[in-house]
Amino acid sequence: MSRRRRGSQRHRSGRGRALPAGRAPAGSFEALVERALDAIPPPFDALLERVAVVIEDEPTAEQLRENGLRPDETLYGLYEGTPITEYAADWVPFPNRITLFRRPLEEDYPDPDELAEEVTATVVHELAHHVGMDDRRLRELGWD
């Protein structure tokens, strides 16, 4: 889970969407996510084979509550699934999922270069959860 304090918390409903099959238009949020995913070097890029990467506008109230967030906090990204380090992770009947939350990221990083950096950091952070790293270890490594 990649969480950050937010200047103002407003409820917005939005439809989630998976990354498109083709290339996203240059300058779009989807293109930033594609660039972040493309930048993951081998052999780590193979970790994405069993993870759906989805973009949602906002985290749901349930996702915020389940992650113990206060009203002035939000999520930039969320990993939901079974880390590959857990026994029988390959037997899990539901897919692993990394969700990136577009509006909180765009609101907190209006500068396009800073937004691109934070999208990459959020992708790395959530992928690290997929390999079994917790938030404490990510902080030790400087990723939180």
Domains of the chain, earliest start first? 2-140 (3.30.2010.20)
Asked whether 59 and 101 are in contact (CB, 8 A), the reply is: yes
- DSSP H or E segment with residue 30: helix 29-38
**What are 28-44's pLDDT values in tens digits?**
999 999 999 999 988 88
pLDDT score recorded for residue 18? 53
pLDDT score recorded for residue 17? 45
Output the tens digit of pLDDT for each of the chain's 144 residues. Answer: 555 444 332 323 333 445 545 566 667 999 999 999 999 988 888 888 888 999 999 999 999 999 999 878 999 999 998 888 886 666 766 778 999 999 999 999 999 999 999 999 999 999 999 888 888 988 898 876
pLDDT score recorded for residue 144? 64
pLDDT score recorded for residue 106? 96
Q: For the purposes of burial, counting CB atoms within 10 Å of the CB of 83, is it exposed (0-12), middle (13-18) or buried (19 or more)? A: middle
119: helix, strand or coil: helix
pLDDT score recorded for residue 25? 64
